[in-house]
Structure 1
């Protein structure tokens, strides 16, 4: 993965989708993947999310140090907005049991 900022952005974007669509298996798997990358490659833990009308705010531990960052809501919510506008393009496919 690229930078910590990129991974946090990607994780938060898909987490917003997963939170809005808890039965979406692709969103769940992707969110889990980014959580694993954040923990194993970037040593990030204890992520807390808050938001206001304009921004999402993240507070987290990175290598044992408290860090903060923020992202514009319109950028984070763009994927969820697209899914909501054209839900037929984002059908949920259940996991295949082997």
Structure 2
């Protein structure tokens, strides 16, 4: 898996895990992508940078790889789409 794909998958699952704190599968999947980032790409200290959501159409992930600090930007709408789809599906919202 390419680094950019692993970062994007982790980002989507981080957004889902934050938006659905009771969703254990979301946390487990996020953690799976975190392992890929750490073990396959030697990425450390990755996190979403705080931004004014209304001021930007991107989400930024800051991370360190091989001692170098980097930032990767992703489209906000694409990044939040998975959470939107899950929340819009009655199958996943039964109490």
Specify if TM > 0.5: yes
Flag structure 2 segments of 5+ consecutive residues without an equivalent.
Answer: none
Within the alignment, does 1:75 sit opposite 2:75 as a pair?
Answer: no
- CA offsets, 1:9-66, max 9 Å, x none? 0000011000111110110110110111111111111113124331101111012111
For normalisation by structure 2, the TM-score amounts to 0.86
**Runs of 4+ with deviation above 6 angstroms:** none
Q: Which runs of 5+ in 1 are unaligned?
A: 93-98
Q: How far apart, CA to CA, are the structure 2 residues paired with 1:91 and 1:26? A: 14
Q: Distance in 2 between matches of 1:89 and 1:78?
A: 17
Query: What TM-score, normalized by structure 1, do the two folds share?
Result: 0.84
Partner of 1:46: 45
CA RMSD of aligned residues (A): 1.5
